[in-house]
Structure 1
Amino acid sequence: MSNEAHSLKPALNAWHMWGLAVGLVISGEYFGWSYGWDKAGTLGFMVTSILIAVMYTTFIFSFTELTTSIPHAGGPFAYARRAFGSKAAFIAGFATLVEFVFAPPAIAMAIGAYLNVQFPGVDPKMMAAGAYVVFIALNIIGVHIAATFELFVTLLAIIELLVFMGVVSPGFSVSNFVAHGWAGQESFSWAVIPGIVAAIPFAIWFFLAIEGVAMAAEEAENPKRTVPIAYIAGILTLVALALGVMVFAGGAGDWKALSNINDPLPQAMKMIVGANSGWLHMLVWIGLFGLVASFHGIILGYSRQIFALARAGYMPKYFAAVHPKFKTPHRAIIAGGVVGVAAIFSDDLIQFGGQTLTANLITMSVFGAIVMYMISMLSLFALRKNEPNLARPFPAMFYPAFPLIALVLAGVSLVTMIYYNQLLAGIFTGLMALAFGYFLMTKHHRDAAIDKHHAVATA
């Protein structure tokens, strides 16, 4: 294949990148987080969410240094390879792949659940699979079209969350939010701590995948300017929305009724306006935009990760092809979709441990994210030491405090997640071992040096 067949087209401006940053994550405000209430209660989960918000804020203000210094479609994979070599790059790339491949089927299931609210006769799984078909096609057609659509649905999703808060606010009650808010108890005790830490994956879901902007850095018109804007504005937008949605939903009525379902916002609104209100129907329809924004954006993210890994020889070269007309990694886009649809129809394999299919998909995705966050922060420290003259258009703020805080909180999150999700941790480790076997078997096909695309991007 020619270089043209392995090159992505720069076409995204600052608005596109901000839309991608928020859109990748915003479905986390619509569903998934309420499973944390089941573990910790409203007040306990608030503690978890604030700690995770601190982790993400310090992480993003540090991660931006890597993204602007090394604008590469592989994102964390490229940073780890430059800092530590091919084996660390494999771990970072695999972890990122798990995060971005297991998140979309969870979101697709929520799309199916929302449609089922409006049309009780439809099969949520078939709707979820149909969402893959539609948005795989849109991602293949072109990155500019895909990113413009992403910006549009992200703006609608933000407006809808603000509308939700406004509609439920007349019925909001602090007493509803705090009732039995410490994991079913009226007051704090040390017995609440296990629930607070067990809820970590669902607090991470509020912000999961914002780092996917890094995988579009090669397609940004000016990554040294647009990426910092996207990350900083994005994380501030998401923290405000996450806290607002959680508080208003919890104060709408009995929060326990919302703690183990895929559509907490429509059900919370139903408590205030009733099942037949036009506001409720509007939330279901427009609320779909939030799910679509993340679903669509993460498809873009996983495809670039598969593409970058294949281009560097860590996956079969077959997936490194770029469509001759649309200049998008079409095979990588389809490959992640096949895995996602298989996950949707694999209840018996994925629904276990007392958790729903969606909760297990979220937890698996979070395992990948946390491992990747740790390797990224370690890469930042290593590159500061080993390459002090590397161009850093946006140095990490409050270095070394911010990256260290992010690294420590990510490490604590990983340890507690392993303790409370041992079976899923074993599956994650097993998948990594299988992938590492492929990595070793194909070593003679792979050049361990930085590939030509990486060298050009960081020259």
Structure 2
Amino acid sequence: MSGQTKKSEFNKVLSSKDILVIAFGAMIGWGWVISTGDWIHRGGVLGAALGFVLGGIMIFFVGLTYAELTAALPQCGGEHVFSYKAMGPTGSFICTWGIILGYVGVVCFEACAFPTIVSYIFPGFLKGYLYTVAGFDVYATWLALASVTAAVMMFINILGAKTAANVQTILTAIIFTVGVVLIATSAVRGDTSNLVPQMFAGSGNRSVISHILHVAVMTPFFFIGFDVIPQAAEEIQGSLKKIGKILILSIVLAVAFYSLVIIAVGYLLDPAEVNASMAGSGLVTADAMVKAFGVKAVSNVVIIGGLCGIITSWNSFMIGGSRAMYSMADSNMIPKAFAKLHPKYKTPVNALLLIGIISMFAPLAGRQMLVWICDAGNLGCCLAYCMVSASFLILRKKAPDMPRPYMVKHYKLVGYTAVLMSGAMVLMYLIPGSGSTLTIQEWCMAGGWAFLGLVFYVANKKKYGSEFGHHTDIEIEYSETDMEAIRLAKAGRRSKETEAVAAQEAVSV
């Protein structure tokens, strides 16, 4: 690490609102439309909501480490820079390569999810049967819509981060509106007699708690997406301290959204209706909306909200994946071609083209294949969370004087809790019987990605030698708010050091 700096090549076009909707939209995909019934079966209505709150607390600690590091190191690549500063090139390579798999996996999965949701709205949409992959029938219309939409998403992102953010704002507003309408309507037309019999799953205190925990250990995977903010940190304008606060706010909003939607559904549908919906379309949230308004067509409103959720996740992870690839290429870790920015729009055009083309052809493998890719990618994201949490602790020791506009209090408690929580998430994928253990197919995909990373690592280390992993910091512009926060943080640290010295002297005497 050298003391040299350079000017950022990215355009600072993202506002506070933009990064909030990018993170929130990434976390609120379409799970709230298709998975609510499963959550209620696992934990009961109140049990599932509490499970999401507990899961949110787990991810909140990880989010705090991200908030401090993003404000301190607002550079493209986020995790790449954090782990490089703390662990060096090898640690940075593992961390960033893992999270790229997560981002690309989600992008490919959403390419398949989009036409699948469309087929719910228009039952006659599937035409021209082609073949079957892993039990999934691939149709010509399904494949064409998936590929065309992937091309459009790629084009939108190439046009600039602001264009992508504007699309994100509109779609997130639709999701939020649909969710608020459902929650508000349930408060008026719901019935506690529906809620009481299904408040908790299981019987007895131990059984109830185990069912709540069963939901809780699953929920962090629905909160993946807040980490897109540090990927695009170099393109964010305004106070750095505010970036940290918005990152935390996005997590809180996601927890509240999921929990309230679960309660709304349980307030509108009784256990028999939930079971009937699960046995039928499986879209329990949509059926709850139908009961609230008494009109069958209203279910399409919820499904359209889910459709918007697919696109917001898709859009966010394209932003994150392309910036992560750019940062690795800029550090000579993968082919340098991926460090090219568009001359006009200042977006990592080659990285976006690669991710876009992969997502255009990915639907050929069928939906089940991409579920495997997505699950393998979640392991990569959780590994990156654990490494970033560890980097947070390392940098507090290694670089105590680094300016931190957003400084977390009780950093040891926060840091070690985040490491333990994220480490537990990784173990869930590894330990048989945890409910999230990777299948053989998913292990093959994770292993293949790791092997490809090893090839890039060896080849580029040989090609670039000491320049492998080279990183140059960008020049950081601090607002008056940031400067005041940094000054207060330093004053607080000096005060603690003085108290520690005085205490040591007292002990010596």
TM bucket by the smaller chain? Answer: 0.7 to 0.9
The range that moved more, 306-315 or 429-438, is 429-438
What's the offset of the Cα at 1:385? 0.8
Matches within 5 A, 1:49-448: 49-123=52-126, 124-170=142-188, 172-173=190-191, 176=194, 179=197, 185-186=202-203, 189=206, 193=210, 196-197=213-214, 200-201=217-218, 203-222=219-238, 224-253=240-269, 254-256=273-275, 257-258=277-278, 263-273=283-293, 276-277=296-297, 279-347=298-366, 350-351=368-369, 358=371, 360-419=372-431, 420-423=436-439, 424-425=442-443, 427-446=445-464, 447-448=467-468
Say whether the 8 Å CA contact 2:198–2:266 is kept in structure 1.
no
Aligned to 1:11: 13
Give the distance between the partners of 1:35 and 1:12, measured in 2 at CA: 36
Q: Which has the larger radius of gyration?
A: 2
Contact 1:39 1:198 in 2 (8 A): no
In the TM superposition, what whole-angstrom CA distance separates every residue of 1:82-103 from its partner, at most 9, and x where no partner exists? Answer: 1111111111101110121111
CA contact (8 A) 2:74 2:230 kept: yes
Q: Within 2, Cα distance between the matches of 1:31 and 1:378?
A: 35
Q: 1:321–1:330: 8 Å Cα contact kept in structure 2?
A: yes
Deviation at 1:436, TM superposition (A): 1.8
Distance 2:222 2:428 in 1: 18
The CA distance in 1 between the partners of 2:268 and 2:113, in whole Å, is 21
C-alpha change, 1:341 and 1:174, in structure 2 (3 Å) is farther
Instruction: Give 5+ residue unaligned stretches, structure 1.
Output: 352-356
Q: Please state how far the C-alpha of 1:425 moved relative to its aligned partner.
A: 4.4
Relative distance call for 1:176 and 1:327 in structure 2 (3 A) is same
Q: Report the AA paired with residue 217 of structure 2.
A: I
The answer (yes or no) to whether the contact 1:13–1:221 under 8 Å persists in 2 is: yes
Deviation at 1:304, TM superposition (A): 1.0
- 3-state DSSP class of the match of 2:222? coil
Query: What is the RMSD of the two structures over their aligned residues, measured on CA atoms?
Result: 3.2
Contact kept in structure 2, 1:6 and 1:321, CA below 8 Å:
no
How far apart in 2 are the matches of 1:365 and 1:181? 33
Number of aligned residues: 446
With structure 2 as the length reference, what TM-score do the two structures score? 0.78
Moved more, 287-296 or 268-277: 268-277
What residue identity is the alignment partner of 2:285? L
Structure 2 residue runs of 5 or longer lacking an equivalent are 127-141, 479-509
Looking at structure 2, the residues matched to 102 and 174 of structure 1 have their Cα atoms a distance apart, in angstroms, of 40
User: Do the aligned partners of residues 141 and 374 (structure 1) sit closer, same or farther apart at CA in structure 2, a change above 3 Å counting?
Assistant: same
Q: Give TM-score scaled by structure 1 length.
A: 0.86
- SS of the residue corresponding to residue 24 of structure 1 reads helix
Residues 220 and 304 of structure 1: CA distance in aligned 2, closer, same or farther (over 3 Å):
same
- CA shift, 1:443, in A, is 0.4
1:130-159 deviation per Cα after TM superposition (whole angstroms, max 9, x unaligned): 321221111111222222222232223212
Q: How far did residue 266 of structure 1 move?
A: 2.2
Classify 1:288/1:194 alpha carbon distance in 2 versus 1 (closer, same or farther; 3 Å): closer
